[in-house]
Structure 1
Amino acid sequence: MEETGNKKTEPAAGNALRNPLKGLFNYQWMLSNIPFFLFLSLLAVLYIANGHMADKTMRRINATTVELKELQYEYKTLKSEVMFKSEEVQMVKATEPLGLKVVKEMPQRLQQEKKP
């Protein structure tokens, strides 16, 4: 009988040596660590959400930068057009169809007579 007893105990001891983590992942251990697993899950969800928000923010920053550059180009273009059109020669050309001309005479100053 000792041999049959030894045969039964040896395979059990062999299984324990082959799989040392089997005792670690049992039902009781899983139940006692559910709050920790939920905490880890929450951290994973927050990490993923943070990554998405960062990507979204970067896209908005890039779009705003592109829009700002376009507005700067438009501003410079309009400014150069205004500077060009405000030159005296361009003003004379623009007012010729209206019949306005540049006066060559000096303006006269009108003075009010003083009453005694």
Structure 2
Amino acid sequence: MKESKNNRENKWFFVNQAWLVKNVRFFLFLAALAILYIYNGHHAEKAIKDINKTSKEMKDLQYEFKMIRKDWMFMTKQSEVVKAVEPFGIKEIKEPPMTLEDTIIKQIKTSK
């Protein structure tokens, strides 16, 4: 009984050792796949962090743009422009501007 069990163990040891030597390339391939899988996970996490950082920065810039545009719209209102140029002695015109007409062109238009 001990001989057959011992024989089996020796046989399996030989098969296992031969099988391991035979499949070394496959195990190296599996190790390379595992390393690639780990790298891919780290790369994806880094990309997600970059996307989140960029989207936060974009939201901040959009807010800043809206605030600047609001201030600019307020400053370009006619009443605000009048207040801004008043210290320089420039006053708002109350009468509409005069239009100049070319009399020669006017005569040509009426003669047609």
Same fold (TM over 0.5): yes
Where do 4+ consecutive residues of structure 1 move more than 6 Å?
none
After TM superposition, give the deviation of residue 13 of structure 1 in Å: 3.4
Q: Which position in structure 1 is the counterpart of 2:2? A: 11
Q: Which position in structure 2 is the counterpart of 1:69? A: 59
After TM superposition, give the deviation of residue 33 of structure 1 in Å: 0.7
Q: Which position in structure 2 is the counterpart of 1:45? A: 35
Match runs of 1:37-116 below 5 Å: 37-114=27-104
CA change 1:58–1:98 in 2 (3 A) is same
TM-score, normalised by the number of residues in structure 2: 0.78
SS class of match (1:29) = helix
- Give 1 or 2 for the bigger CA radius of gyration: 1
Consecutive unaligned residues in structure 2, runs of 5 or more? 108-112
Q: Which position in structure 2 is the counterpart of 1:35? A: 25
CA change 1:77–1:37 in 2 (3 A) is same
Consecutive unaligned residues in structure 1, runs of 5 or more? 1-9
- Report which of the two has the higher share of helix: 2
SS class of match (2:13) = coil
The alignment of Structure 1 onto Structure 2 pairs a total of residues equal to 104
TM-score, normalised by the number of residues in structure 1: 0.76
Aligned-pair identity (%): 41
